[in-house]
Chain A
Amino acid sequence: ETGVTQTPRHLVMGMTNKKSLKCEQHLGHNAMYWYKQSAKKPLELMFVYNFKEQTENNSVPSRFSPECPNSSHLFLHLHTLQPEDSALYLCASSQGAGGNSPLHFGNGTRLTVT
């Protein structure tokens, strides 16, 4: 596996379900990110981890809970979501947060909340 891998690719969940999104990067990067992409809107930063430490929480509702056990893995735990949370969730990595190296993205998880 190379690059940034996200699973699952598609997820349909009810408002009372609990699910998790997984991201793994094989680039040797130290920073990992969660972004939300909705139609006609700019990518919206959710969380940033640098060397496993959370450095940004962009006022994200508590129904989204990130976890970063090491620099290669990132999870987004979901519970009691709302229909407006339906979107493409993208994981990205970079050499280090705070530098000027580009983000490298996975192919995302398409989430539908029913």
Chain B
Amino acid sequence: EDQVTQSPEALRLQEGESSSLNCSYTVSGLRGLFWYRQDPGKGPEFLFTLYSAGEEKEKERLKATLTKKESFLHITAPKPEDSATYLCAVQGSTGNQFYFGTGTSLTVIP
């Protein structure tokens, strides 16, 4: 069964303290792994798509990487405005389903 597990559930960082969020997945035939950012009271905002192991994508202080079993979202020198819930989703080779994790709630303290 396709599934996604994100860890940690919550993360508190000091401003400037780099860290990584983990997304472990099992899927039959990965078509894509997607990272989203969700602010309170808003819908998820698309960040990255990764399609194959070894692929990396960067945007400002965020860098996403992908292996055959997991993806990491690295946050370098975070700022308070990076505080949000980060969601990971995978799409397998069958059907139209996107399987989402429960997210990591990130708080960056000034």
Are A and B bound to each other?
yes
CA separation between A102 and B36, bound complex, in Å? 10
Q: A43-B87, A45-B98, A98-B96 known; A107 and B43 CB under 8 Å?
A: yes
Q: How far is the CB of B73 from chain A (nearest CB, A)?
A: 15
CA separation between A42 and B88, bound complex, in Å? 10
Q: In the complex, which residues of chain B have a beta carbon less than 8 angstroms from the beta carbon of A107?
A: 41-43
The interface bits of chain A over 91-104 (1 if a CB of B lies within 8 angstroms of the residue's CB, else 0) are 01000011011111
Which one of A40, A45, A56 contacts B102 once the chains associate, using CB atoms below 8 Å? Answer: A40
Q: How far is the CB of A44 from chain B (nearest CB, A)?
A: 8
Q: In the complex, which residues of chain B have a beta carbon less than 8 angstroms from the beta carbon of A106?
A: 43
Which one of A31, A43, A50 contacts B100 once the chains associate, using CB atoms below 8 Å? Answer: A43
The interface bits of chain B over 79-94 (1 if a CB of A lies within 8 angstroms of the residue's CB, else 0) are 0000000010101000
Number of A-B contacts (CB under 8 A): 56
Interface residues in A69-114 by Cβ distance below 8 A to B read 90, 92, 97-98, 100-108, 110
Q: Is the CB of A108 within 8 A of B42?
A: yes
Chain A interface residue count, Cβ-Cβ cutoff 8 angstroms: 26
B71 in contact (CB, < 8 A): no
A4 in contact (CB, < 8 A): yes
Q: A42-B4, A43-B87, A48-B96 known; A103 and B46 CB under 8 Å?
A: yes
Interface residues of B (CB under 8 A from A): 4, 31-32, 34, 36, 41-46, 49, 51, 87, 89, 91, 95-102
Interface residues of A (CB under 8 A from B): 4, 6, 31, 40-43, 45, 48, 50, 55-56, 90, 92, 97-98, 100-108, 110
Q: List 14 A-B contacts (CB under 8 A).
A: A4-B43, A6-B43, A40-B102, A42-B100, A42-B102, A43-B87, A45-B98, A90-B44, A102-B49, A103-B34, A103-B44, A103-B46, A105-B46, A108-B42
